[in-house]
Amino acid sequence: MGFKSAINDLAKSLRRMIFVNMLVLTLIIPFVLLALGVETSKIALITATSGFILCAVNFLFISNYCVRKTEDTLTSSYESMQNDYLYDELTQVYNRRAGLIRLNEEFARAKRNNSTFSVAMVDADYFKKINDTYGHIAGDNILTHIAATLRAGLRECDVVIRYGGEEFLILLPETSSKTAAMPLDRLRSRLSKNKYAYQGYQIPVSISIGIATISALDDDPIQVVQRADNALYTAKKTGRNRVVYGQQNQDLRPALSHA
């Protein structure tokens, strides 16, 4: 239920209470009093008193039920909208839009503090073949599996982003390329050594990774991402299932030996 629905429900509740109050005060109470033989002079006083009591009851009902219910609904709707804004629906890591905001923040922080900062581009190997062979649902499950493995194997301060399709971007604050290569290579190895079980199939899963680190010459975080993407291209071109890092001069070298 969204904001509009919650507000409409509250408005309907208020209209119903107003209608019931009018009905009670103008028809039911006077009719009952007349039937009981109450003096006409007292009917107005009793009706006014009843109206006051009904207003008090309405106030308590609105403040303690309707408004709280609406607040809860609006809060839940806001949290849902915020989740949709920040996170990729499939993999539950940052989506590209929110991820690029975090990229700019981390880049600016590294520049401001004169600290190191690395990014890694990750791509699922042979992903089209997996989709064609086992179906798109299997492919979705494998992307979720890769994202969960990356999140579980990295530090809390590291950020995993679904950059597009089968590509992920990882932000690694206070980390050089060589320092980042070791944990990323462990994750690469973990994925490649354990096939993914799906409907009786054992699907081989591997990833290629390109890493780049901020330099004094960078004035835009996309420059670092581009070097990581170039390194990823080299990793895929030279056999996949490996980690490669790119330096400022585009000297691309294997970050670690791989198995």
Catalytic residue ranges: 166
Burial 210-240, CB ≥16 within 10 A → b, else e:
bbbbbeeebeebebbbbbbbbbbbbbbeeeb
Under 8 Å CB-to-CB from 165, ≥6 apart: which residues? 127
Residues in Cβ contact with 61 at an 8 Å cutoff, skipping those fewer than 6 apart = 17
67-86 vs 96-113: helix crossing angle, rounded to 10: 70
- Look at residues 244, 188, 236, 239 and name the one whose alpha carbon lies nearest to residue 212: 244
The beta strands (E) that lie in 19-166 are given as: 117-124, 159-164
- Edge to edge, what strands does the sheet with 159-164 contain? 159-164, 167-173, 117-124, 207-213, 243-246, 252-254
Side chain identity at residue 48, one-letter code: A
CA atoms of 221 and 5, how far apart (whole Å)? 41
